[in-house]
Amino acid sequence: MEEEFTNDSISEYSAYSEDMWVDWFLGTKGNEYFCDIDTEFITDRFNLTGLNTEVDHIQQSIDVITDNFDADVSKDEREHIEKIATHLYGLVHARYILTARGLQKMLDKYKNCDFGRCPRVHCSSNPLLPIGLHDLPRHSTVKLYCARCEDIYNPKSSRHQNIDGAYFGTSFPGMLFQVYPHLIPKRTNARFVPKIFGFKIHANGKLARWQEKQRIEQQKRIAQTPSHQSQP
């Protein structure tokens, strides 16, 4: 899977390091799905349990995120640490949005349709929620979940299509609706019905087309089967 954060965006931050790191991160195009994480949450070692095996230079990355990084390092090394910091922020983000404060922040974004609307016509533009197909990073990119049709979709923007799904995790939509059950939309059973000149296609017509398809496939299989030689 491609890297979610480009070297160009990291270099852009390095050139304007007087800005708050989190403000820069959230303001970067392509990061609209993320919410701001409380500093206290990031600096609490309990919330980072297990991430030291996934993230190198974890303390330096925390210092970058919290604007406390003042180590005398080369430009290349600083950019490398800042790149790791973006990965750490994403992993911590998946944990943060399952907390009460994180859910509230993501709820506000959901109500504002910051994650887009369902492309399915019968869902009537129902708001979407980001979701990961795996909790481990580098397995799949983020998808968008619609609670009305209970299906998932790829993000429309190419800026969002390479975001690691682990930065949102597999449990977020379920947790949000568990805490705010009144927001669960009524599931739609509406389906598109093909018609010809305003008339529904008869079920017998569908059956006939299926039978014809099976007949053609059977003929192809017979034609591809080598003929048996006659035995003496």
State the pLDDT at residue 97. 98
* pLDDT at position 44 over 50: yes
Domain boundaries, the chain: 21-183
Q: Which string of DSSP letters, residue by residue, matches the chain?
A: ---SS-HHHHHHHHHTTTS-HHHHHHHSTT-TT--PPPHHHHH-GGGGTTGGGT-SSHHHHHHHHTT-------HHHHHHHHHHHHHHHHHHHHHHTTSHHHHHHHHHHHHTTTT-B---GGGTT-B-EEE-S-SSTTS-B-EEEETTTTEEE--SSTTTTTSBGGGT-SSHHHHHHHH-GGGPPPPP------EETTEEPPHHHHHHHHHHHHHHHHHHHHHHSPPPPPP-
* pLDDT at position 8 over 60: no
Q: Are strands 151-153 and 195-196 parallel, antiparallel or unpaired?
A: unpaired
pLDDT tens digit sequence for 146-173: 999 999 999 999 999 999 999 999 999 9
Both tokens of residue 144? 């968008």
Tell whether domain 21-183 is in CATH 3.30.470.20: no
pLDDT tens digit sequence for 72-97: 778 888 889 999 999 999 999 999 99
How far is Cα 115 from Cα 168, in angstroms, rounded to an integer? 12
Residues 6+ apart with CB under 8 A from 86: 4, 5, 10, 25
In terms of average pLDDT, the best of 51-60, 101-110, 187-196, 215-224 is: 101-110
Indicate the pTM of the whole model. Answer: 0.79
Share of the chain above pLDDT 90, in %: 65
State the pLDDT at residue 205. 67
* pLDDT at position 112 over 90: yes
pLDDT tens digit sequence for 113-144: 999 999 999 999 999 999 999 999 999 999 99
How far is Cα 33 from Cα 109, in angstroms, rounded to an integer? 8
